């Protein structure tokens, strides 16, 4: 009886710890930097985009002009989705030019920086 009770207590504690870990993993907010600046890696060179609107995981949109560097937030350690809408002269999204870039935070390096021209080039068209 005592062994059974001990096992039940142990299982409850394990469930609590696991639930805690899951909540921490899924709920932790990470700040990272988005920069709309020129990108160069080897032979590949990309210039900054004129004006883009960024949305991380369907959150509040953020507008970045050429040369802008800003900070944004992604919640959880899983794969995140950055939607990049190219803006026209009136700062309205240009239809057919939006792309989605999927990334993991650990791919952003130690400085947690994401280059927007690179993300736009690597992203997939929005269907």
Stretch 56-95: interaction string toward another protein, x if CB under 8 A? -------------------xx-------------------
What does the alpha-carbon distance between residue 118 and residue 44 come to, in Å, rounded to a whole number? 10
Indicate whether 33 belongs to the interface with another protein (CB under 8 A): no
Of 20 and 61, which CB lies nearer to another protein in the complex structure? 20
Rounded CA separation 29/25 (Å): 9
Residue labelled with tokens 């800003």 = 70
Asked if 14 touches another protein (CB under 8 A), the answer is no
User: Among residues 58, 52, 53, which one has the least CA distance to residue 74?
Assistant: 58
Contact positions vs another protein (CB under 8 A): 16, 19-20, 22-24, 26-30, 75-76
């Amino acid at each position: 009886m005592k062994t059974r009770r001990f096992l039940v207590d142990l299982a409850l504690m394990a469930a609590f710890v696991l639930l805690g870990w899951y909540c921490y993993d899924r709920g932790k907010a990470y700040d990272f930097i988005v920069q709309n600046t020129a990108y160069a890696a080897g032979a590949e060179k990309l210039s900054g985009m004129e004006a883009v609107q960024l949305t991380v995981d369907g959150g509040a949109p953020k507008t970045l002009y050429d040369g802008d560097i800003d900070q944004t937030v992604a919640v959880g350690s899983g794969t995140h989705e950055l939607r990049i809408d190219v803006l026209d002269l009136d700062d309205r999204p240009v239809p057919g030019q939006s792309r989605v870039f999927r990334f993991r935070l650990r791919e952003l390096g130690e400085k947690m920086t994401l280059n927007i021209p690179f993300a736009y080039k690597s992203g997939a068209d929005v269907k």
